[in-house]
Amino acid sequence: ELKVEQNPLFLSMQEGKNYTIYCNYSTTSDRLYWYRQDPGKSLESLFVLLSNGAVKQEGRLMASLDTKARLSTLHITAAVHDLSATYFCAVEEYGNKLVFGAGTILRVKS
Amino acid sequence: KAGVTQTPRYLIKTRGQQVTLSCSPISGHRSVSWYQQTPGQGLQFLFEYFSETQRNKGNFPGRFSGRQFSNSRSEMNVSTLELGDSALYLCASSFSSGIYNEQFFGPGTRLTVL
Protein backbone atom coordinates (compact mmCIF):
# COMPACT_ATOMS: atom_id res chain seq x y z
CA GLU A 1 0.00 0.00 0.00
CA LEU A 2 1.36 3.35 -1.05
CA LYS A 3 2.02 5.79 1.76
CA VAL A 4 2.90 9.44 1.30
CA GLU A 5 4.55 11.47 4.03
CA GLN A 6 5.01 15.19 4.05
CA ASN A 7 7.11 17.27 6.37
CA PRO A 8 6.91 19.57 8.02
CA LEU A 9 3.18 19.56 8.69
CA PHE A 10 3.27 23.17 9.81
CA LEU A 11 5.64 25.86 8.66
CA SER A 12 5.77 29.41 9.89
CA MET A 13 8.06 31.55 7.81
CA GLN A 14 9.17 35.13 7.73
CA GLU A 15 8.67 37.00 4.51
CA GLY A 16 11.75 36.91 2.34
CA LYS A 17 13.04 33.60 3.69
CA ASN A 18 13.54 30.34 1.84
CA TYR A 19 12.30 26.93 2.86
CA THR A 20 11.63 23.45 1.53
CA ILE A 21 8.72 21.05 1.98
CA TYR A 22 9.53 17.37 1.61
CA CYS A 23 7.35 14.59 0.26
CA ASN A 24 8.42 10.97 0.65
CA TYR A 25 6.51 8.02 -0.72
CA SER A 26 6.78 4.33 -0.10
CA THR A 27 6.45 2.52 -3.43
CA THR A 28 7.57 3.09 -6.96
CA SER A 29 5.76 5.80 -8.88
CA ASP A 30 6.90 8.34 -11.41
CA ARG A 31 3.90 10.63 -11.25
CA LEU A 32 3.73 13.17 -8.51
CA TYR A 33 1.56 16.24 -8.14
CA TRP A 34 1.63 19.30 -5.94
CA TYR A 35 -1.56 21.12 -5.02
CA ARG A 36 -2.37 24.25 -3.09
CA GLN A 37 -5.49 24.67 -0.97
CA ASP A 38 -6.71 27.94 0.54
CA PRO A 39 -9.04 27.77 3.56
CA GLY A 40 -12.50 26.62 2.56
CA LYS A 41 -11.46 26.24 -1.05
CA SER A 42 -10.71 23.40 -3.42
CA LEU A 43 -7.37 22.13 -4.66
CA GLU A 44 -5.41 24.14 -7.18
CA SER A 45 -2.88 22.26 -9.28
CA LEU A 46 0.64 23.65 -8.97
CA PHE A 47 2.97 21.13 -10.56
CA VAL A 48 2.88 17.81 -12.35
CA LEU A 49 6.15 15.86 -12.17
CA LEU A 50 6.34 12.86 -14.45
CA SER A 51 9.88 11.57 -14.51
CA ASN A 52 13.00 11.20 -12.46
CA GLY A 53 14.88 14.45 -12.26
CA ALA A 54 11.91 16.54 -13.29
CA VAL A 55 12.11 20.11 -12.09
CA LYS A 56 9.42 22.73 -12.54
CA GLN A 57 9.28 26.33 -11.44
CA GLU A 58 6.51 28.85 -11.19
CA GLY A 59 7.21 32.17 -9.57
CA ARG A 60 8.64 31.63 -6.10
CA LEU A 61 7.90 27.90 -6.09
CA MET A 62 10.06 25.15 -7.51
CA ALA A 63 9.30 21.44 -7.39
CA SER A 64 11.56 18.50 -8.11
CA LEU A 65 11.23 14.74 -8.23
CA ASP A 66 13.75 12.01 -7.47
CA THR A 67 12.02 8.71 -8.20
CA LYS A 68 14.98 6.63 -7.03
CA ALA A 69 14.89 8.24 -3.60
CA ARG A 70 11.07 8.39 -3.76
CA LEU A 71 11.31 12.03 -2.79
CA SER A 72 9.87 15.26 -4.06
CA THR A 73 10.62 18.72 -2.77
CA LEU A 74 8.74 21.98 -3.01
CA HIS A 75 11.13 24.87 -2.53
CA ILE A 76 9.88 28.31 -1.60
CA THR A 77 12.09 31.25 -2.45
CA ALA A 78 11.75 34.64 -0.76
CA ALA A 79 8.34 33.86 0.70
CA VAL A 80 5.54 36.40 0.50
CA HIS A 81 2.28 36.52 2.45
CA ASP A 82 0.24 35.42 -0.59
CA LEU A 83 1.90 32.01 -0.42
CA SER A 84 0.15 31.24 2.87
CA ALA A 85 -1.96 28.14 2.22
CA THR A 86 -1.89 24.38 2.69
CA TYR A 87 0.27 22.47 0.24
CA PHE A 88 -0.32 18.83 -0.63
CA CYS A 89 1.75 16.40 -2.55
CA ALA A 90 -0.03 13.47 -4.17
CA VAL A 91 1.36 10.36 -5.79
CA GLU A 92 -0.47 8.49 -8.50
CA GLU A 93 -0.87 4.90 -7.35
CA TYR A 94 -2.65 3.46 -10.36
CA GLY A 95 -5.13 4.75 -12.86
CA ASN A 96 -6.27 8.09 -11.57
CA LYS A 97 -6.04 7.18 -7.90
CA LEU A 98 -4.06 9.80 -6.05
CA VAL A 99 -2.67 9.15 -2.58
CA PHE A 100 -2.20 12.43 -0.77
CA GLY A 101 0.20 13.50 1.92
CA ALA A 102 -1.22 15.04 5.08
CA GLY A 103 -0.51 18.55 3.84
CA THR A 104 1.81 21.30 4.99
CA ILE A 105 0.19 24.39 6.46
CA LEU A 106 2.33 27.34 5.45
CA ARG A 107 2.04 30.68 7.21
CA VAL A 108 4.15 33.56 5.98
CA LYS A 109 4.54 36.35 8.48
CA SER A 110 5.44 39.91 7.56
CA LYS B 1 -13.37 26.78 -20.57
CA ALA B 2 -15.67 26.09 -17.63
CA GLY B 3 -14.17 24.25 -14.69
CA VAL B 4 -15.46 21.32 -12.70
CA THR B 5 -18.75 22.09 -11.03
CA GLN B 6 -20.27 20.41 -8.01
CA THR B 7 -23.74 20.70 -6.58
CA PRO B 8 -24.88 21.38 -4.01
CA ARG B 9 -22.07 23.32 -2.39
CA TYR B 10 -23.37 22.84 1.13
CA LEU B 11 -25.62 20.21 2.61
CA ILE B 12 -26.90 19.42 6.08
CA LYS B 13 -28.36 16.01 6.78
CA THR B 14 -29.20 13.94 9.82
CA ARG B 15 -27.93 10.51 10.73
CA GLY B 16 -29.60 7.70 8.87
CA GLN B 17 -30.54 9.80 5.85
CA GLN B 18 -29.03 9.40 2.43
CA VAL B 19 -27.49 12.01 0.18
CA THR B 20 -26.62 12.40 -3.49
CA LEU B 21 -23.87 14.71 -4.69
CA SER B 22 -23.34 15.73 -8.28
CA CYS B 23 -20.24 16.54 -10.31
CA SER B 24 -20.02 17.91 -13.83
CA PRO B 25 -16.54 17.52 -15.33
CA ILE B 26 -14.74 19.84 -17.67
CA SER B 27 -16.10 19.50 -21.17
CA GLY B 28 -14.33 16.66 -22.97
CA HIS B 29 -13.11 15.00 -19.80
CA ARG B 30 -14.21 11.41 -19.43
CA SER B 31 -12.77 10.49 -16.06
CA VAL B 32 -14.29 11.60 -12.76
CA SER B 33 -12.76 10.76 -9.40
CA TRP B 34 -14.19 11.42 -5.97
CA TYR B 35 -12.28 12.22 -2.79
CA GLN B 36 -13.29 12.74 0.81
CA GLN B 37 -11.45 15.33 2.88
CA THR B 38 -11.69 15.35 6.68
CA PRO B 39 -9.44 16.95 9.31
CA GLY B 40 -8.64 13.55 10.79
CA GLN B 41 -8.09 11.38 7.72
CA GLY B 42 -7.05 13.98 5.19
CA LEU B 43 -7.78 13.45 1.52
CA GLN B 44 -8.89 9.93 0.66
CA PHE B 45 -9.78 8.42 -2.69
CA LEU B 46 -13.34 7.12 -2.96
CA PHE B 47 -13.69 5.91 -6.54
CA GLU B 48 -13.11 6.77 -10.16
CA TYR B 49 -15.43 6.48 -13.12
CA PHE B 50 -14.41 6.42 -16.74
CA SER B 51 -16.83 6.02 -19.62
CA GLU B 52 -19.64 5.10 -17.22
CA THR B 53 -17.62 2.31 -15.60
CA GLN B 54 -16.12 2.27 -12.14
CA ARG B 55 -12.42 1.69 -12.68
CA ASN B 56 -10.96 2.10 -9.20
CA LYS B 57 -12.36 2.03 -5.71
CA GLY B 58 -10.92 3.13 -2.40
CA ASN B 59 -11.38 1.59 1.03
CA PHE B 60 -14.81 2.88 1.89
CA PRO B 61 -17.86 0.90 2.99
CA GLY B 62 -20.57 -0.06 0.57
CA ARG B 63 -22.71 2.84 1.80
CA PHE B 64 -20.66 4.95 -0.57
CA SER B 65 -21.56 4.42 -4.20
CA GLY B 66 -21.42 6.31 -7.42
CA ARG B 67 -22.27 6.31 -11.05
CA GLN B 68 -21.41 8.12 -14.23
CA PHE B 69 -23.72 9.10 -17.02
CA SER B 70 -23.13 9.09 -20.76
CA ASN B 71 -22.35 12.82 -20.68
CA SER B 72 -19.60 12.08 -18.11
CA ARG B 73 -21.47 13.75 -15.27
CA SER B 74 -21.12 11.76 -12.08
CA GLU B 75 -23.07 11.34 -8.90
CA MET B 76 -22.07 9.83 -5.62
CA ASN B 77 -24.50 8.55 -3.06
CA VAL B 78 -24.03 7.95 0.64
CA SER B 79 -26.72 5.92 2.35
CA THR B 80 -27.44 5.63 6.06
CA LEU B 81 -25.37 8.66 6.93
CA GLU B 82 -23.14 8.60 9.98
CA LEU B 83 -21.65 11.53 11.89
CA GLY B 84 -18.23 10.56 10.56
CA ASP B 85 -19.38 11.16 7.00
CA SER B 86 -19.23 14.89 7.62
CA ALA B 87 -16.56 16.06 5.21
CA LEU B 88 -15.69 18.04 2.13
CA TYR B 89 -16.34 15.87 -0.92
CA LEU B 90 -14.25 16.78 -3.92
CA CYS B 91 -14.54 15.52 -7.42
CA ALA B 92 -11.81 15.75 -9.99
CA SER B 93 -11.98 15.37 -13.73
CA SER B 94 -9.35 14.46 -16.27
CA PHE B 95 -9.24 13.78 -19.96
CA SER B 96 -8.47 10.09 -19.73
CA SER B 97 -7.39 7.36 -17.41
CA GLY B 98 -4.30 5.17 -17.18
CA ILE B 99 -1.90 7.55 -18.88
CA TYR B 100 -0.57 10.88 -17.86
CA ASN B 101 -3.32 13.34 -17.34
CA GLU B 102 -3.81 16.13 -14.91
CA GLN B 103 -6.76 16.08 -12.57
CA PHE B 104 -8.72 19.27 -12.02
CA PHE B 105 -10.70 19.59 -8.84
CA GLY B 106 -14.13 21.10 -8.34
CA PRO B 107 -15.06 23.46 -5.50
CA GLY B 108 -16.38 20.62 -3.36
CA THR B 109 -19.57 19.84 -1.48
CA ARG B 110 -19.45 20.46 2.26
CA LEU B 111 -21.61 17.79 3.93
CA THR B 112 -22.55 18.13 7.57
CA VAL B 113 -24.26 15.22 9.28
CA LEU B 114 -26.10 16.03 12.51
Q: Does B101 touch chain A (CB under 8 A)?
A: yes
Q: Which pLDDT score is estimated for B15?
A: 98
Q: What is the DSSP string of chain B?
A: ----EEE-SEEEE-TT--EEEEEEPPTT--EEEEEEEETTTEEEEEEEEETTEEEEE-S--TTEEEEE-TTS-EEEEE-S--GGG-EEEEEEEES-SSSS---EE---EEEEE-
pLDDT in tens, A43-93: 999 999 988 888 999 999 999 999 899 999 999 999 999 999 999 999 988
Inter-chain CB proximity B94 and A43 less than 8 Å: no
Is B102 part of the contact surface with chain A (CB cutoff 8 Å)?
yes
First to last CA, chain B: 37
| Alpha carbon distance B45, B94 (integer Å) | 15
Q: In this predicted model, which residue has the larger pLDDT, A29 or A87? A: A87
- What's residue B96's pLDDT? 74
CA dist., res. B101 & res. B87, Å (int) = 26
* Tens-digit pLDDT string for chain B (114 aa): 679 999 999 999 999 999 999 999 999 999 999 999 999 999 999 999 999 999 999 999 999 999 999 999 999 999 999 999 999 999 999 987 555 678 999 999 999 999
Cα gap A53→A35, rounded to integer Å: 19
Determine how β-strand B74-78 pairs with β-strand B19-24: antiparallel
Nearest-by-Cβ selection for B97 from A41, A43, A95? A95
Domains and CATH numbers, chain A: 4-109 (2.60.40.10)
Is 80 exceeded by the pLDDT of residue A95? no
C-beta atoms of B33 and A96 within 8 A = yes
Query: In chain A, pLDDT over 70 holds for what percent of residues?
Result: 100
| HEC per residue, chain A | CCCEEEECCEEEEECCCCEEEEEEECCCCCCEEEEEECCCCCEEEEEEECCCCCEEEECCEEEEEECCCCEEEEEECCCCHHHCEEEEEEEEEECCEEEECCCEEEEEEC
In percent, the amount of chain A with pLDDT more than 90 equals: 82
Whether B94 contacts chain A with CB within 8 A: yes
Interface test with B, best of A3, A4, A96, A104 (most B CBs within 10 A): A96
Chain B hits for A31, Cβ within 8 Å: 100
pLDDT at B20: 98
User: Chain A contact for B97, CB < 8 A?
Assistant: yes
Tell me what pLDDT residue B99 has: 58
Q: Do A42 and B90 touch (CB under 8 A)?
A: yes
pLDDT over 90 (residue A94): no
